[in-house]
Chain A
Amino acid sequence: EVHLVESGGGLVKPGGSLRLSCAATGFSFSSYNMHWVRQAPGKGLEWISSISASSIYINYADSMKGRFTISRDNAQNSLFLEVESLRAEDTAVYFCGVVFGTTEIPDYWGQGTLVTVSS
């Protein structure tokens, strides 16, 4: 069974940084593209970034370029998202997703990890 478990969220002061993790089990992690999206309280989903299976291709939403860094460790079946210079508007639940099909849109998402940016 496919399982994606995000971790690393919490309460952070403005200007701080975080490293979010996504642990994958139940599938061949190294074979599939991965994505991060976020959801601010009461809002819709917002795409952040994607990374190809071998990390050759990395893409970011224009609004996320500069402060967000996606990476993966296929040996550890893990996906990461580093966020710097955190702002109040970065407060959200962050989800990781895996693309199994051919549409480039994730088929399966984890339960998410909450990041709260507040002083």
Chain B
Amino acid sequence: HSALTQPASVSGSPGQSITIACTGTSRDIGNYDYVSWFQQHPGKAPRLLIYGVNKRPSGVSSRFSGSKSGNTASLTISGLQAEDEADYHCSAYIGSRSLIFGGGTKVTVL
């Protein structure tokens, strides 16, 4: 399995919506509904935003939403805020308790 593919950077103005794509293959994203998204601020631990493709843990803002189509998962941040400026990582289950990650996407709030 190769790493999942994410854009290196995405930017948007406050209040706008942005979408980050995470592209895999039929052996990972396309094969399981086990895709998670994490937010990571500099020097901090990754924080779970989305699990199971489109589920939000308690405490995560409804401005974050996830979806999947075929071999591509997506994270949408609506109503972009300054505090959303961070790195975002996608992760997929590939069977046998094994995972792969994307390369991470840096979100900049203009």
B74 to chain A, nearest CB (A): 17
A101-B51, A103-B34, A103-B93 known; A47 and B45 CB under 8 Å?
no
* Complexed CA–CA distance, A102 and B53 (Å): 12
Q: Is B98 in contact with A47, judged by CB distance below 8 angstroms?
A: yes
What is the number of contacts between chain A and chain B, taking CB atoms within 8 Å? 70
Tell me how many residues of B have a C-beta within 8 Å of chain A. 26
Q: Is A44 in contact with B89, judged by CB distance below 8 angstroms?
A: yes
- Give me the interface of A with B, judged by CB distance under 8 Å: 33, 35, 37, 43-47, 50, 52, 57, 59, 61, 95, 101-112
Please name 20 further chain A to chain B contacts, defined as beta carbons within 8 Å, in addition to the given A37-B101, A44-B89, sorted by A numbering.
Answer: A44-B101, A45-B91, A46-B3, A47-B100, A47-B101, A50-B98, A50-B99, A52-B97, A59-B96, A59-B97, A101-B52, A103-B36, A105-B51, A105-B99, A107-B48, A107-B51, A109-B38, A110-B45, A111-B44, A112-B45
